[in-house]
Structure 1
Amino acid sequence: MNTPRVVIVHRRTEYDELLATHGTRGQAAFFLRTRGRDIAELEERNRLTRKAIETATAAIPVDWRRGSVERTDVARFLFAPDDVIVIVGQDGLVANVAKYLQGQPVIGIDPEPGRNAGVLVTHPARDLGELLRATDHVSERTMVQADLDDGQHLLALNEIFIGHRSHQTARYELRPPGARAESQASSGVLVSTGTGATGWCRSVALERASRLRLPAPHEPRLVWFVREAWPSPTTGTTLVEGELTGNSLELTVKSDQLVAFGDGIETDSLTLTWGQTLRVGIADRALRLVG
């Protein structure tokens, strides 16, 4: 029987990216000074991240297998079913990685306690050894999935946005579960999980003083909002928010081209053309967080 494999996922720090762009520390420091920043701050944050990765790596039992992958390579990395995923970084990195997993336990390590929100990266690196012995104790966070009628699909941990690529007016027909369809023109549609309900979704709900109860992170329920629906002789504004449990929200495209993307990553999107139908609902998998 194979021993477990721990895969540490991280991303390049801002300091590393600056060195890659400017070549030397001196040039990077000069660039930052022209923008009122001090390179010492970035060096310290880089040191903390490297220390967290080193501490986490040292906590892996010597007889366990191990691997490491940088964020830009995650899409090409082959995760095994019995892997334990250790993510060192900000909360957003967990969201970026979640859609590539198939139920593997995830441990979020915060390299900069007090700087990150710590919603998904909830543990210090020094606790990893104990956490690796408790990977059966997980909490599941609901994810959202969009399925296009040509077989393409998209997963997200926080939210999925459907709209125009350049944020111009999007035209479509919207059909919530159990309701009639309505033709709309708007700034787009946002479908959020409970994890995403603390971010973009919450700002929309607060702005319009919505009375819709936002879901908790582990709750198998989604909420959706139409942003800035525009009334006209051919478009309505009666269907602007709601919730999803077992059914899907359907959207049929009435524009030349729309896009759907998850967790704010516009580079990883579905392209929707005239007449295509997208269905958005609770995903058939969840993020399994340890601790």
Structure 2
Amino acid sequence: MSLAPRAVLVHRTTEYEELVARHGTHGQAAFFLSSRGRDIEEVAARHRRTRRALAEVTAAVPLTWRQTRVERADLDRFLFAPEDVVVVVGQDGLVANVAKYLAGQPVVGIDTDPGRNPGVLVRHRPSDAAGLLAGAGREADELTMVEVVADDTQRLVALNEIYLGAAGHRTARYRLGLEDDGGVVEAQASSGVLVGTGTGATGWIRSVWQDRRASLRLPSPTEDRLLWFVREAWPSPATGTSLVAGELAAAARLRLTVESERLIAFGDGMETDALELTWGQTAEIGVCERRLRLVG
């Protein structure tokens, strides 16, 4: 007998809850904001909308299903099961936060604050939840993801982009090359390397692409193609700037060998969940075989 599906509702602590936790009471939080020219009602209203959305989605879960909730901070300790249907209730970034922990489970994105969120990944309203859950997984977009794999088997997966460089604002030193580029390798000193997907092309990667006025075509979210950029490469007698941008097809890999005491790699802006690389280590970045199944 197969298990009934389990709805996993992913949410995050609201700004209002964080403020009250930090200042102790609603009144003290309100005083803190008012002293800086802000009204707590704006934050409290968003909190109420989020809680109403979460309650509405919870009520829409079929009675024959199991269900549970997980807060964003607990994702790295939560065990997802093959039969799960993941319902992200919040912002686009929350879908990216959960993506790397999944292995093919369908994801339904519910926008708690339409008009404030772009709605690229949280595409639906709370009132749509019942119908979406009834057909979850039947029609889903297979979004491309990016991965970095180190020579000591460390591995990190991301939905939008992976950044590899020095922690803080220090210069990253490394040797960069492409597997299929005839062995051409360049020593570089820069602010790091950014490799992104078509989903990430709505965020950080697009920002760099626009700044460079790059002729490279941005990939679509389902396309097996990545773009990569070196940020602020520094020319010197020992370092070059000829390999600063490009694209990676499905089988291609960007290879980076560390020549700094310590570099890190993190995905989707989550620097607290990073790989650490030391002098002489090599990391390869490319398209991940895993996909995010996002219910359209």
TM-score class, shorter-chain normalisation, is over 0.9
The separation in 2 between residues aligned to 1:163 and 1:8, in whole angstroms, is: 34
Q: 1:60 maps to which residue?
A: 61
Corresponding residue SS for 2:76: helix
- Give the TM-score taking structure 1 as reference length: 0.98
Q: 1:201 maps to which residue?
A: 205
The separation in 1 between residues aligned to 2:127 and 2:213, in whole angstroms, is: 42
Corresponding residue SS for 1:96: helix
Corresponding residue SS for 1:93: helix
Shift of 1:35: 1.6
The separation in 2 between residues aligned to 1:145 and 1:265, in whole angstroms, is: 14
Pairing 1:84–2:85 present: yes
The separation in 1 between residues aligned to 2:37 and 2:291, in whole angstroms, is: 42
Shift of 1:198: 1.4
The separation in 2 between residues aligned to 1:201 and 1:2, in whole angstroms, is: 41
Q: 1:142 aligns with which of 135, 141, 144?
A: 144
Structure 1 gaps, min length 5: none
Letter in 2 for 1:276: Q
Q: 2:111 maps to which residue?
A: 110
> 2:162–2:195: 8 Å Cα contact kept in structure 1?
yes
Q: 2:132 maps to which residue?
A: 131
Corresponding residue SS for 1:251: strand
> 1:9–1:71: 8 Å Cα contact kept in structure 2?
yes
Q: 2:98 maps to which residue?
A: 97
The separation in 2 between residues aligned to 1:225 and 1:2, in whole angstroms, is: 45
> 1:91–1:118: 8 Å Cα contact kept in structure 2?
yes
Q: 1:42 maps to which residue?
A: 43
The separation in 1 between residues aligned to 2:135 and 2:64, in whole angstroms, is: 17
Q: 2:285 maps to which residue?
A: 280
Structure 2 gaps, min length 5: none
The separation in 1 between residues aligned to 2:19 and 2:247, in whole angstroms, is: 43
The separation in 2 between residues aligned to 1:98 and 1:239, in whole angstroms, is: 30
Shift of 1:133: 1.8
Q: 1:224 aligns with which of 220, 223, 228?
A: 228
The separation in 2 between residues aligned to 1:258 and 1:2, in whole angstroms, is: 44
Q: 2:4 maps to which residue?
A: 3
Q: 2:166 maps to which residue?
A: 164
> 2:226–2:286: 8 Å Cα contact kept in structure 1?
yes
The separation in 1 between residues aligned to 2:122 and 2:291, in whole angstroms, is: 16
The separation in 2 between residues aligned to 1:109 and 1:117, in whole angstroms, is: 12
Identical counterparts, % of pairs: 62
Shift of 1:36: 1.4
- Give the TM-score taking structure 2 as reference length: 0.97
Letter in 1 for 2:218: L
Letter in 2 for 1:15: Y
The separation in 1 between residues aligned to 2:177 and 2:169, in whole angstroms, is: 21
Q: 2:276 maps to which residue?
A: 271
Shift of 1:176: 1.6
Letter in 1 for 2:83: D
Q: What is the aligned length?
A: 291
Listed one character per residue, the Cα deviations across residues 167-217 of structure 1 (whole Å, up to 9, x for unaligned) are 211110001232201111111100000011111111111111111111111
Shift of 1:91: 0.4
Q: 1:152 aligns with which of 151, 154, 168?
A: 154
> 1:134–1:290: 8 Å Cα contact kept in structure 2?
no
Corresponding residue SS for 1:121: coil
